[in-house]
Structure 1
Amino acid sequence: MSIDEVLQALRGSWGPDTCAPEDVSDWRPDNPARGQCATTAVLLHDYFGGCLVRGEVRVDGRQVDFHWWNRFADGQVVDATIEQFAPHEVVVGGTDVERPTGPTRMDVQYELLASRVAALLADST
């Protein structure tokens, strides 16, 4: 399975119910990537390994959130949700981070997204 197939399945699976709780009010069908970065990065890690990368989201120089993306073993960087940000929201930095272990605040959203992606990928074979 290719990265493009998984990305397509991810994009077809995002919804307000897979969004980070603090971003639900900003989620819209015309910006489906909003609030999806952490679960999306972890799911891409499930399929392709590599490193999880976390940067800061800044507005007017002040940190307002974190943003997550992937760096694969071959050096390829994939930020599947960068389009979620408005021009005034700037992502800075980027540090490799360990994959979270144990329960997280996003477990429900992750499980829902993972099941939708798996179903779409199964249907495409």
Structure 2
Amino acid sequence: MTTSAVRDGPVPRSGAPDLAVVERAVRAAWSRETCDDSDADAWSPANPARGQCGPTALTVHDLFGGDLLLAEVWWSDGRWQGYHWWNRLPGGRELDLTREQFGPDEIVQLPRVVDRPPGRPRRCAAQYELLRERVLGAIG
């Protein structure tokens, strides 16, 4: 069962698509092809959010604006696992559609706001473009 990934706060800017519609479209669009290459071996239909955070956060940012949040992820034994991306929508609401990808032994640290660089992403550009195309197609 999926719980809402939205934390309390104001509604996104006027003219933005319905958040619930976007969440459904994003989740339906995830696949191995939209997964970060570093997580492709761990991706499965049983954990479809695995490796989707970067492309998902950028797609949500395209639709709603706001801030991109980035945090390190560490294994419980102290080894570095990687990074996790999510969004802070205009008005302060946090939206993390991929948080459930992590197991109990993966600890997401406190985030920092990251400015979005211009142009295509350096990592996962093809995954982002495919996810964005699927989501935009689904929401019309």
The answer, yes or no, to whether TM exceeds 0.5 is yes
**1:11-64 per-position Cα deviation (integer Å, ceiling 9, x unaligned):** 000000000000000000011000000110011000000000000110022222
Gaps spanning 5+ residues in structure 1: where? Answer: none
Q: Which amino acid aligns with 2:57?
A: A
Inter-partner Cα distance in structure 2 for 1:99 and 1:37: 15
Measured on the aligned residues, the alpha-carbon RMSD in Å equals 0.9
Q: CA deviation at 1:102?
A: 3.1
Identity of aligned residues (%): 45
Normalization by structure 1: what TM-score?
0.94
Q: Structure 2 CA distance, aligned partners of 1:102 and 1:69?
A: 19
* Aligned residue number for residue 11 of structure 1: 27
Residue correspondences, number = 122
SS in 1 for 2:83: strand
After TM superposition, the structure 1 = structure 2 runs for residues 1-125 of structure 1, keeping only pairs within 5 Å, are 1-59=17-75, 60-103=77-120, 104-122=122-140
* Structure 2: distance between partners of 1:119 and 1:72: 22
Q: CA separation in 2, counterparts of 1:31 and 1:42?
A: 20
CA distance in 1, matches of 2:35, 2:118: 20
Q: How far does residue 73 in structure 1 lie from its aligned partner after superposition?
A: 1.6
- TM-score, normalised with respect to structure 2: 0.84
In the alignment, the residues of structure 1 paired with residue 47 and residue 57 of structure 2 have an alpha-carbon distance, to the nearest angstrom, of 17
Q: Amino acid of the residue matched to residue 91 of structure 2?
A: D
Aligned-partner SS, 1:6: helix
In structure 1, the partner of 2:13 is none
Q: In the aligned structure 1, how far is the partner of 2:78 from the partner of 2:54?
A: 22
**Structure with greater helix percent:** 1
Unaligned runs of 5+ in 2: 1-16
- Say which structure is richer in strand: 1
